[in-house]
Structure 1
Amino acid sequence: MLCKDAKVDSYPTIYFFRGGEKVEYNGLRGYGDLLQVSEKAVDIVGKGITDVNEESFDQLAETDKVLFLYFYDHATTSEDFTAMNRLTLSLVNHAKLVKTSDPALAKRFKIGTFPRLMCYREGKTNYYSPLSPKEMRDLKQIVKWMKSVWLPLVPELSVANANDIMNKKYAVLGILNRQRNDEFTQDTRELKNAALEWMEKQTKLFQMERQELRDAKQLRIEEAEDRNDQRALRAAKGVHINIREDDRKQVTFAWVDGQFWQRWLKTTYGVDIKAGERVIIADEENNRYWDSTTSGAPIMPSRTSILETLSHIVNSPEKLRAKSTVGPVKGTVLTVRTFLGRHPLLLLFTFIATMMLISMSLKGNIRKTRSPGGSNGGGVVGGLFGGSPSFPGAFSLDSKDGMSGNAGNGGKVD
């Protein structure tokens, strides 16, 4: 009965409950793993949200790769704090949430509106864009944003985080060998630098796109004012610029232990760590991946090799040939489906053309079947029994060939 109430449909399932809320644990089930996540859950949920200043925040940042920082002031309401406290359950086994009213931290991160939520990842900041009271209390929307940033810049692929890394994203996977200490350190550094450069580039592009939309809105307002067109002015001022970074397909970076995941890498991507370190860019949603650059060389753990290939894939994936993680037949079907999904007008045209061809084919068959002089001789039954046009399907005893089908002009049959 309890499992039914908790909507458990597979076993074993591990849930962490607090009041009427719950969160599922999808990580490893070893004793040490369960003990570690239990301690984190008690620390995050049981102790509540810690209030920090600039000094204590810097100390936390040295040990925690990902921190969520909630800025508040004297005007922050109890409803805001209640919504903030509900977030802690979703962060179990992911990241820590702390709060602050320290003016030094607000000045450091250029916070002028309260409350405000920020993610701090290894020196990189990401802000929750919505500012209205309703949006700052929207638990589902905030958790959705948190999921997009709660991983470290370049985490290790594991059972617990595989879905966050791979699901509906372009995943840049550095397949490394941790036993080669020098190469491993250098390769992880290159992956991190590539991730930082990519994020910085995408942030600039997003800001430019948003600024272009704002400029276009301002241009409409000025044009309406010059013409003294009040209706156009109201319409221009009513345009909402609703653009977010997570509206696009995101890119994640991770490194994979080539020894631990050896079998999966070999069967899925055809990669063997014995041949050396490699990088693959996976699109799990469409069952495809890329393992070579535009020149045909393997993608190496180098920021230049990664960023050049990634730019081609994100901007024009059809220009760089992808490989399929499934069979050739299913891979072709998925490729066609993906292509048509990117071109809805072509999909509509293909559908209309197909329906027209089917309709024309059916009409042609019906016309051919009903034709008096058709080769079917008065229909299917008439064709089988030599029926006449007047009575399709009936055979005639005094016909040219008779029942026996002999070739005589009414000749005698013995």
Structure 2
Amino acid sequence: MLKFFAPWCGHCQKLALIWTELAHELKGMVNVAEVNCDVHENLCRNVGIEGYPTGIFYLNGRKVDYAGRKALDAMSTFARKAFAPGFTKVDAETFNKKLNLDEVVFLLLHTGSDQRVLDSVSAASQVLLGESPIYASTSRALYSQYGLPSPSTSAVPVLIAIKSHASKNHAAKLELDGLATGHGSGEELEKWLLRNRFPVVSKLGMNSFYNVMKSRFRRLGHEEESQRIRSARLCFVWMDGRKWGKWLKNMYGIEDVSKFKMDGVVVVDHQSPSYYDTDLNGRPLTLDKDNIFYALRAIYAGRGTPKHSENLLERIARIMNKKELAIEEYVKTHIKTTIFGVIMFFVLTFYALKYVVNEDRSMDLF
């Protein structure tokens, strides 16, 4: 774990002692270090540090921004979960006891003879950083419990996602026959895990905001209705209006629920960033399944009218910043082309100026 800080930053100074305690607590398990961005400006710029302090977790070359509480217990728990084993072997009785401990769990059902699959799942599990546990079992009772065909020695291993402590139904299923034969993609398995790692309904707060809003693989919602919205990549979340009332009002125009005794519903595209808070008839969205999915169908058909959660100046600044980052990235990856382009620019400018000067002299002669 790396902490990027600046000595003059007040929050960094408060975190200094906690970071030292974290290093002692995780000694021998996780390497904990820090980078002074006043001294190593180029390094911090290349990593993309935009504020202080920033915590980044590196696991086998994978970079993950730490968005949780900057408290000793929270950071220690995060690190321990991230370095936990890829999966835990269980029998049916043990699994059902653990089922109530987490909102989302993954269950790998296999015959016991497919080590290649076990290794692939263990490697892919790193993308979860311990957020949702993976259990592995050869129990025939669990196959039956979740309505899967009884296994045989040649059965295809299957990975299922179970949400809201469901003891009979699974939210998603992935057959791993490709991995078993050596033709599957570990990247596809990682994407599947990321798509299904959140609860059916998540609480959106400081710890989960970054993961939810930045996720590109979410596909959650009412299963029957989701089939009608083929291209939908969405999730359902809720926020405490009493705690986040001011932010909700500034971003989406939702009045403080603690004051006005009302619930607000918006469909958010955080990548834009824009949002929808009315149906096609201009009526506010409500906590009603038919109302929400009617609005979603209209939005994905391009018939909704979005509103911006940024003002004009903020939008211009964001677009300019994206352009600047794109140019910077192009220069880094195409150094020779950039140098050639700069040289050609100056050469052409030189000859253009020379031509203009010669033309002026010719005019003076007349």
What TM-score results when the alignment is normalised by the length of structure 1? Answer: 0.55
What's the CA shift for 1:259?
2.6
**Alignment partners' CA distance in 2, 1:120 and 1:31:** 30
Q: How does 1:245-324 map to 2 (within 5 A)?
A: 248-273=231-256, 274-275=259-260, 276-314=262-300, 316-317=301-302, 319-324=303-308
In the alignment, does 2:70 pair up with 1:29? yes
What's the CA shift for 1:38?
4.0
Q: Deviations over 1:302-330 (max 9, x none)?
A: 2232222222222x23x232212233599
Q: Deviations over 1:24-45 (max 9, x none)?
A: 4322212342243245346x33
8 Å Cα contact 1:69/1:100 also seen in 2: yes
2:173 to 123, 127, 141: 127
**Alignment partners' CA distance in 2, 1:157 and 1:135:** 39
What's the CA shift for 1:14?
3.5
In the other structure, the counterpart of 1:98 is 135
Q: Deviations over 1:114-170 (max 9, x none)?
A: 322211112342012563126786332212111111000111112333244233769
Secondary structure, counterpart of 1:259 in structure 2: helix
Structure 1 residues 170, 136: CA separation in 2 closer, same or farther (over 3 Å shift)? closer
In the alignment, does 2:96 pair up with 1:58? yes
Structure 1 residues 41, 168: CA separation in 2 closer, same or farther (over 3 Å shift)? closer
In the other structure, the counterpart of 2:110 is 72
Q: How does 1:6-405 map to 2 (within 5 A)?
A: 8-10=47-49, 12-16=53-57, 23-41=64-82, 44-45=84-85, 49-77=87-115, 79-109=116-146, 110-111=148-149, 113-122=155-164, 123=166, 124-129=170-175, 131-133=177-179, 138-167=185-214, 198-203=222-227, 205=228, 248-273=231-256, 274-275=259-260, 276-314=262-300, 316-317=301-302, 319-327=303-311
- Larger relative contact order, structure 1 or 2 (CA cutoff 8 Å, min sep 6): 1
8 Å Cα contact 2:109/2:159 also seen in 1: yes
Q: Which amino acid aligns with 2:118?
A: F
Structure 1 residues 278, 33: CA separation in 2 closer, same or farther (over 3 Å shift)? same
8 Å Cα contact 1:23/1:90 also seen in 2: no
Structure 1 residues 104, 28: CA separation in 2 closer, same or farther (over 3 Å shift)? same
Secondary structure, counterpart of 1:264 in structure 2: helix
In the other structure, the counterpart of 1:223 is none
- Percent identity of equivalent pairs: 21
**Alignment partners' CA distance in 2, 1:24 and 1:323:** 29
Secondary structure, counterpart of 1:128 in structure 2: strand
**Alignment partners' CA distance in 2, 1:168 and 1:16:** 17
**Alignment partners' CA distance in 2, 1:98 and 1:320:** 42
What's the CA shift for 1:393?
12
Secondary structure, counterpart of 2:69 in structure 1: coil
**Alignment partners' CA distance in 1, 2:280 and 2:216:** 21
What's the CA shift for 1:102?
0.6
* Runs of at least 5 residues in structure 2 that lack an aligned partner in the other structure: 3-32, 36-42, 319-362
Q: Deviations over 1:251-299 (max 9, x none)?
A: 1100012233233222221222233211111112232211122332221
Structure 1 residues 269, 17: CA separation in 2 closer, same or farther (over 3 Å shift)? closer
8 Å Cα contact 1:171/1:283 also seen in 2: no
* Runs of at least 5 residues in structure 1 that lack an aligned partner in the other structure: 173-194, 207-244, 335-391, 396-414
**Alignment partners' CA distance in 2, 1:49 and 1:163:** 25
**Alignment partners' CA distance in 1, 2:292 and 2:311:** 27
CA RMSD of aligned residues (A): 3.8
Structure 1 residues 325, 21: CA separation in 2 closer, same or farther (over 3 Å shift)? closer
**Alignment partners' CA distance in 1, 2:109 and 2:141:** 11
**Alignment partners' CA distance in 2, 1:199 and 1:64:** 21
**Alignment partners' CA distance in 1, 2:74 and 2:193:** 23
- How many residues align? The count is 267
**Alignment partners' CA distance in 1, 2:130 and 2:244:** 22
Structure 1 residues 170, 285: CA separation in 2 closer, same or farther (over 3 Å shift)? farther
**Alignment partners' CA distance in 2, 1:308 and 1:170:** 22
